[in-house]
């Protein structure tokens, strides 16, 4: 039985000066070759060839936060899997990713999310010396990086939350801040792993500014 039998996967993407989506998909497939990938693209973003991939291209620009919300909505409607993992298009993974997903799925207490990316440039996370899953309830603006694994029922609660719904009308970005602040207000735990099972390699972010980030103690 594959861990992906219980996880529905979404990837959000948008145009970049140097596309990262094809490389991220290849990296994910290297360690998780099974399971469907649902890709949600802003207009003009690069398409990806390959099997077991659904690509949805919006006719009109949505903004990062609304694209993320549409990904959650689609997966809720089309998949009955108990876990939902929606990530961004610029992650490179290592061989630990499958084990980290298994640990998250096997966690038997209520939680908000398990983040499959831990940003070493975040002042709060970068100073961590403890290993393993770290319980860090980071709200706005301390949460950096979006690779969240949720239980299905938590996604339903997030999308019905008043603060989250308001942010959808006032923000077109800040996925990490909005989702994490929503969960913090709900009193739900958020987990980050040291070392990170992924790193980012986007040279130009989907929001249009230069970036160079890395996963905490990440190694291929």
pLDDT band at 213 (very low <50, low <70, confident <90, very high): low
The predicted pLDDT at position 202 comes to 57
**pLDDT at residue 174, rounded to an integer:** 93
Give which of 14, 145, 28, 10 is closest to 76, Cα–Cα.
10
- Mean predicted confidence (pLDDT) in 104-112: 97
Please name which of 136, 147, 137 lies closest in space to residue 89, comparing C-alpha atoms. Answer: 147
| Cβ atoms of 116 and 198 closer than 8 Å | yes
| CATH class for the region spanning 3-200 | alpha beta
Q: What is the arithmetic mean of pLDDT over 198-220?
A: 68
Q: Is the pLDDT of residue 198 over 90?
A: yes
Contact 116, 100 (CB under 8 A): yes
Query: Is pLDDT of 209 > 50?
Result: no
Residue 30 has pLDDT above 70, yes or no: yes
Interhelix angle 152-160/64-78, rounded to 10 degrees, is 130
pTM score, whole prediction: 0.93
The model's pLDDT over 140-169, given as tens digits with 9 standing for 90+, comes to 989 989 999 999 999 999 999 999 999 999
- Higher pLDDT: 10 or 204? It is 10
What would the mean pLDDT of 97-111 be, rounded to a whole number? 98
Report residue 4's pLDDT band, with 50, 70 and 90 as the boundaries. Answer: very high
- pLDDT band of residue 206 (cuts 50, 70, 90) is very low
| pLDDT tops 90 at residue 35 | no
How far is C-alpha 146 from the chain's CA centre?
4
Helical packing angle, 64-78 and 175-186, nearest 10°: 60
Q: What is the largest CA-CA distance in the chain?
A: 45
Spatial CA neighbour of 196 closest among 116, 137, 91: 116
Parallel/antiparallel/unpaired status of strands 147-151 and 53-57: unpaired
Structure tokens at 188: 């739900």
Angle of the 152-160 helix axis to the 175-186 helix axis, nearest 10: 100
> In what helix (H) or strand (E) does residue 70 lie, and over which residues does it extend?
helix 64-78
Take residue 129 and report the two structure tokens written for it: 């010396």
pLDDT of residue 207: 46
Q: What is the DSSP string of 167-199?
A: HHHH-SS-HHHHHHHHHHHHT--EEEEES-SEE
Domain boundaries, the chain: 3-200
Q: Could you tell me the pLDDT band of residue 1, with boundaries at 50, 70 and 90?
A: confident
Q: Is residue 137's pLDDT more than 80?
A: yes
């Amino acid at each position: 039985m594959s861990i992906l039998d219980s996880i529905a996967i979404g990837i959000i993407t948008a145009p970049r000066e140097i596309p990262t989506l094809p490389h991220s998909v290849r990296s994910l497939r290297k360690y998780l070759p099974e399971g469907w990938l649902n890709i949600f693209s802003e207009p003009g973003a690069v398409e990806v060839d390959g099997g077991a991939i659904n690509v949805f291209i919006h006719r009109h620009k949505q903004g990062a936060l609304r694209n993320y919300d549409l990904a959650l909505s689609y997966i809720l409607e089309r998949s009955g899997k108990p876990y939902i993992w929606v990530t961004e298009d610029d992650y490179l993974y290592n061989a630990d990713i499958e084990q980290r997903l298994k640990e998250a799925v096997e966690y038997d207490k209520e939680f908000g999310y398990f983040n499959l990316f831990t940003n070493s440039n975040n002042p709060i996370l970068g100073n961590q010396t403890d290993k393993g899953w770290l319980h860090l309830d980071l709200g706005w603006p301390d949460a950096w990086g979006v690779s969240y694994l949720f239980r299905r029922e938590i996604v339903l609660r997030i999308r019905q939350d008043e603060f989250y719904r308001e942010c959808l009308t006032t923000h077109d970005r800040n996925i990490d801040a909005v989702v994490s602040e929503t969960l913090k207000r709900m009193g739900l735990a958020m987990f980050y792993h040291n070392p990170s099972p992924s790193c980012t390699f986007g040279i130009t972010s989907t929001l249009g500014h230069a970036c160079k980030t890395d996963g905490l103690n990440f190694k291929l």
